[in-house]
Chains A and B, each alone.
Chain A
Amino acid sequence: MVEAYTQVCVRINLTTGEIKKEKLSQEFCKNYIGGYGFVTKILWDECPTGIDPFDPRNPFIMAIGPFPGTIVPTSSKYCVGAKAPLSDRIGFGISSGSCGAQMRRTGIDMLILTGKAPEPVFIFFDDDAIKIIPCKETLWGKDIWFTEDEIRNMYGDQRISVMGIGPAGEKLAKLACITNDRARQVGRTGLGAVMGSKHVKALAFRGTKPIKVAKPEEFMIKAKELIQLANGKDTLKYRDLGTPINVMKFNDLGVLPTKNFQTGYWDKADAISGETIDEKWVVKKTGCSQCPIACDHLCGTKPDDPDWPNVVSSIDFESIYAIGSVCLIDHFPAIIKAVELCDKLGIDTMTGGTTLGFAFEAYEKGFITKEMLGDNPVYKNGLQWGDYKAMVQLVEDMCYRSTPAGDLLADGSRDAAKKLGGDTWKFSQDIKGLGIPGYELKGLTTASIGFAVSLRGACHLRSGSYGYDMKKTFDRKTYDQADKRGAALAGQEAFMAVIDSLVVCKFTRGIYHRGLPEIAEVYEMVTGIPMTGDEMEMAGHRIHDLAKCFNIREAKAAGIKPIDEDTLPWRNFNEPNLDGPTKGWKNDEVGFKKAIVEYYLARGWDERGYPTEKTLKERGLDFVVGKL
């Protein structure tokens, strides 16, 4: 008997309006766990190779894991996947808030949307009833916060969970995110635009079904222990100053991305530091459903702020570096406002921020002109580094594609560079189209490998690779011990794939002191499906490798060698950091390339980055053999 999982998959063909329900087998649930695993398997099986991400056949998948609705810390999470607009490779993103738990309570484990609705709609999952509701007059064109409130008001129920897209997603901006519960986003890879391409404004969930766990007594004891641990030293960083504590730590190491990644140090970093924010701007810390940590640092502008009074938005490190140090913005209320616009109108603050950085540099170098910025008086000085008013306006222009520059930048820096031509590609700081997270890779060599091989594009969450550099496990300037680095990353990738499939929050990865065997025990208590730590690790490898196979298949169809995609931006190899503790550092291209191959071998892949037949068979991916 399987508990927690409902084993229900709902398929909706938006073109015809047809709704089907399927049963997911116990074997499928065990082998792919949930979330990221489910998404990856469906994409491999069902996404036609080489299609445009906005093709109606691109499946838009939403999946949860076994834990939502229970009190496993941070369990109310969901994963969304599709072929990604930003990268043209596997696209997936994870968000938290209340949607995961509400989806479970409606009795659905996975949702697959294909086709394109003839007119804008939102879909309401009201327990077993699934309603596709036209919303051209009511919601289309509106921001996400309005959409969320409005859907709740339509049904008079404040508990309805809504995940939706803003004008950016509607206009197919490749930076588009999906927002739920105001401050939680599926930010990366541009999945909001896939929703937009299907004419889906929002998905709303209201579930009243109970969730049973297989071993309630044992589980409640374990859950209490985990909740307490999630409030202990393992998560102190996230509860205290939050991730913004990284600003000064990284600046001191010379790895705070600054001025569009020209350097890793900023003398004004204190203005956006965790300490300053805590003192001056944090108004409340809140939590997602079932989260004991409550990392969400809501920051508010002052009531007498001359530009943007009483704006409250959710600030974390990744938003701060991207909109702050990358653009040389030290005026914090502008960051609060820009994040609010991103969350409400629907673009990812990370790739959004790095694209802004790209724009500042492109303006400085004459590729973006004053005419392209439009006639708004806020651009009277053009787009000068650190001009915070211009930056905030540009965010809005990007979300609405309302000016030539906004339109150009709405698809991210990689696409913008292609259109601008010249040398602009040299300073588009992206990997596979995704902006680089807040880690200046010229001073973090292991991270440079981890980010480069990340399957969804530049990402710090695929293997936590930066930890090896920061904790000095490996030398962060050179690529020595490349084989050991490769092995370390391969192990971490499997672990992270499990975390993303369960789906729980990475902030709780440290509370399971015995690692995967302990997580497997919790899995068994909840679902009743026998599971061991080794089986779980294998599932992690299986999911990661299958996602890699998806990318290989897509790269080949596009005529690109997969190994050529696992690389760093031009700047990293050619322009050393300008100042600070890592002054003069750059990534050694020869060492980097060797390290990438060592990583492939550590994963059980060949030197081209293809999983070998033996590896595929070991990991239960026989169905891939011969298909690459």
Chain B
Amino acid sequence: MVTNTEKDLKVDAATLVHRILVVDPERCVGCEICESTCSMVHDDLFNPMNSRIHRVRIEPIINSCISCVSCFEPECITACPLSAITKNAETGILEVDQQKCDGCGACVRACPYGAVTVHTKNKKAIMCDMCESTPEGEPQCVEYCPKGAIFVKEIDPSVNEDRLVTIANFIKEGFPQPPEGEILN
């Protein structure tokens, strides 16, 4: 049996990619369905307070969503007084040790993107896990987003880059268009 650490060592650094969610603000209409879906697939309850993706609306016309962007040097890790957060080297997902985390919220304050929250019920830090902890295994907000505005994007974990720049570059690059004749927006 291969342990996580062994698996990590076997990863070929040159081809390794991490995945994050990037939202096309042109397409996002701010409907919050991603938030509801996120909470449902993780907890079997609808509650946007416990969503790992967060709608951002700046009136009057800006809509987007943000979730964990797997920072090169995550400030949540540095901030956590209990060393409860680690970054999975293979997937890039920030993992919270359920035993260690006491819900102090230091990570919430440290995250520059507002992508971390503390679960209202079990009081543990939560952040996007690309739905790895759910039965579906793949990001469900992407599946349910009515406008097809949420995209799974690959990033190079070896590049030290501000994620605002990363996201800006993705947006500049543009997103695949919906099929001909299908007006989503």
Bound Cα distance from A289 to B146, whole angstroms: 12
**Which residue of chain B is the closest to A102 with respect to CB atoms?**
B48
What residues of chain A lie closer than 8 Å to B144, measured between beta carbons? 71, 223-224, 227
Selected from B29, B63, B146, B185, the residue in CB contact (under 8 A) with A227 is B146
Beyond A224-B144, A227-B33, A291-B31: 8 further Cβ-contacts under 8 Å?
A70-B36, A159-B48, A210-B120, A211-B45, A284-B61, A286-B61, A290-B31, A291-B29
Contact mask for chain A residues 281-318; partner B; CB cutoff 8 A; 1 contact, 0 none: 00111111111111000101000000000001000000
**Is A66 located at the chain interface by the 8 A CB criterion?**
no
Give chain A interface residues in 153-195, CB to chain B under 8 Å: 158-159, 182
Considering the complex, give the chain B residue whose CB is closest to the CB of A148. B59
CB neighbours of B121 from chain A (8 A): 210
CB <8 Å contact, B147 and A231:
yes
Q: Count B-side interface residues using an 8 Å CB cutoff.
A: 32
For B49, what are the chain A residues with a Cβ–Cβ distance below 8 Å?
208
Q: For chain A residues 210-267, which have a beta carbon within 8 Å of chain B?
A: 210-213, 216, 220, 223-224, 227-228, 230-231, 236, 239-240
B10-42 CB mask vs A (1 if < 8 Å, else 0) is 000000000000000000011111001101110
Assembled-state Cα–Cα distance A239/B182 (Å): 11
Q: Contact check, B33 vs A210: say whether CB atoms are below 8 A apart.
A: no
- A285–B40 CB distance below 8 A: no
Decide yes or no whether B175 CB sits under 8 A from chain A.
no
Identify which of residues 129-185 in chain B touch chain A, using a CB-to-CB cut-off of 8 Å.
Answer: 143-144, 146-147, 183-185
Q: Is the CB of A240 within 8 A of B183?
A: yes
Interface membership of B47, Cβ < 8 A: yes
A105 in contact with B47 (CB, 8 Å): yes
- Name the A residues within 8 Å of B45 (CB-CB): 210-212
Q: Per a CB cutoff under 8 Å, which of A71, A101, A283, A291 touches B61? A: A283
Give bound CA distance, A232 to B47, whole Å.
27
The residues of B that contact A21 with a CB separation of less than 8 Å are none
Consensus secondary structure, chain A interface = loop
Residues of A within 8 A of B185 (CB): 239, 285, 294
Given A230-B146, A312-B61, verify A294-B29 contact (CB < 8 Å). Answer: yes
A/B interface sample: 10 pairs, CB < 8 A: A70-B36, A70-B46, A105-B47, A158-B57, A286-B30, A286-B61, A290-B32, A290-B33, A294-B31, A294-B146
Q: Is the CB of A286 within 8 A of B63?
A: yes
Judge whether B70 is part of the interface by a CB distance below 8 angstroms: no
Decide if A450 is an interface residue (CB 8 Å cutoff).
Answer: no
Residues of chain A within 8 A (CB-CB) of B46 are 69-71, 210-213
Which residues of the partner chain A approach B33 to less than 8 Å between Cβ atoms? 71, 227, 290, 292
Q: Would A287 and B29 count as touching, CB distance under 8 A?
A: yes
Pick from B31, B183, B185 the residue with the most CB of A within 10 Å.
B31
CA separation between A202 and B43, bound complex, in Å?
A: 33
| Cβ A220 vs Cβ B61 within 8 A | no
CA gap between A70 and B39 in the complex, in Å: 11
- Name the residue in A210, A227, A293, A312 with the highest tally of chain B Cβ atoms < 10 Å from its Cβ: A210
* CA A228 to CA B146, docked complex, whole Å: 7
Cα of A289 to Cα of B55 in the assembled complex, Å: 10
B67 within 8 A of A: no
A268 on interface, CB distance cutoff 8 Å: no
Residues of A within 8 A of B57 (CB): 158, 286
Q: Is A380 an interface residue (CB 8 A)?
A: no
Q: How far is the CA of A394 from the CA of B109 in the complex (A)?
A: 49
Check A182–B147 contact: CB distance below 8 A: no
Name the B residues within 8 Å of A240 (CB-CB): 183
Q: How far is the CA of A98 from the CA of B36 in the complex (A)?
A: 13
Residue of A nearest to B33 (CB): A71
A136 CB within 8 Å of chain B:
no
For residue A209, CB closer than 8 A to chain B, the reply is yes
Least CB distance, A133 to chain B, in whole angstroms:
23
Q: In the bound complex, how far is the Cα of B29 from the Cα of A485, in angstroms?
A: 39
Residues on A with C-beta less than 8 A from B43 are: 210
Q: Which A residue's beta carbon lies closest to that of B58? A: A158
* Docked pose: A73 CA to B184 CA in angstroms: 15
For B60, give the chain A residue with the smallest CB separation.
A312
State whether B40 touches A220 (Cβ < 8 A): yes
Q: Which of A182, A209, A290, A291 contacts B47 (CB 8 A)?
A: A209
**Contact code string A60-96 (vs B, CB < 8 Å = 1, else 0):** 0000000001110100000000000000000000000
Min CB distance B113 to A, Å, is: 15
Q: By the criterion CB–CB under 8 Å, are B143 and A224 in contact?
A: yes
CB distance from B51 to the nearest CB of A (A): 11
Contact with A along B54-84 (1 / 0, CB 8 A): 0001011101000000000000000000000
Smallest CB–CB gap between A611 and chain B, Å?
39
A292 touches B31 (CB 8 A): yes
Contacts A208-B49, A230-B146: A287 and B30 contacting too (C-beta < 8 A)?
yes
Determine whether the beta carbon of B47 is less than 8 Å from that of A210. Answer: yes
- A286-B61, A294-B31 in contact; A211/B147 too (CB < 8 A)? no
Q: Roughly how many angstroms separate A20 CA and B70 CA in the complex, as a whole number? A: 48
Nearest A residue (CB) for B44: A216
Give chain B residues whose Cβ lies under 8 Å from the Cβ of A290.
Answer: 31-33, 36
Select from chain A the residue with minimum beta-carbon distance to B56.
Answer: A158
Known: A71-B36, A231-B147, A294-B147. A211 touches B30 (CB 8 A): no
In the complex, the answer to whether B120 meets A208 with C-beta atoms within 8 Å is yes
Asked whether A216 and B184 contact (CB < 8 A) given A211-B46, A230-B146, A290-B33, the answer is: no
CA–CA, A198 and B170, complex, Å: 52
Q: How far is A283 from B185 in the complex, measured between Cα atoms in Å?
A: 13
Shortest distance between the CB of A439 and any CB in chain B (Å): 26
Q: Which residues in B have their C-beta under 8 angstroms from that of A239? A: 183-185
* Shortest CB distance A220–B (Å): 7
B47 and A211 within 8 A (CB): yes
Contacts of B30 in A (CB 8 A): 286-287
**What 4 pairs across the A-B complex have the smallest Cβ distances?**
A292-B146, A294-B29, A210-B45, A287-B29
> What chain B residues lie within 8 Å of A105 (beta carbons)?
47
* B176 nearest CB across to chain A (Å): 17
Residues in B with CB closer than 8 Å to A285 are 29, 185
Q: Residues of A contacting B183 with CB < 8 Å?
A: 236, 239-240
By a CB distance below 8 angstroms, the chain B residues around A228 are: 146
In the bound complex, CA of A209 to CA of B49 (Å): 9
CB distance from B18 to the nearest CB of A (A): 27
Cβ-defined partner of A182 (8 Å) among B32, B60, B143: B60
- Return the chain A residue nearest B36 by Cβ: A71
Contacts of B120 in A (CB 8 A): 208, 210
Q: Which residues of B contact A289 (CB under 8 A)?
A: 31-32
Q: From residue A471, how far is it (CB to closest CB) to chain B in Å?
A: 23
Q: Within the assembled complex, what's the spacing in Å between the Cα atoms of A278 and B146?
A: 21
Given the complex, which residues of B lie within 8 Å of A293, measured CB to CB? 146
A283 to B59, CA, bound (A): 12
Contacts of A312 in B (CB 8 A): 60-61
A288 to B40, CA, bound (A): 19
Least CB distance from A612 to B in Å reads 43
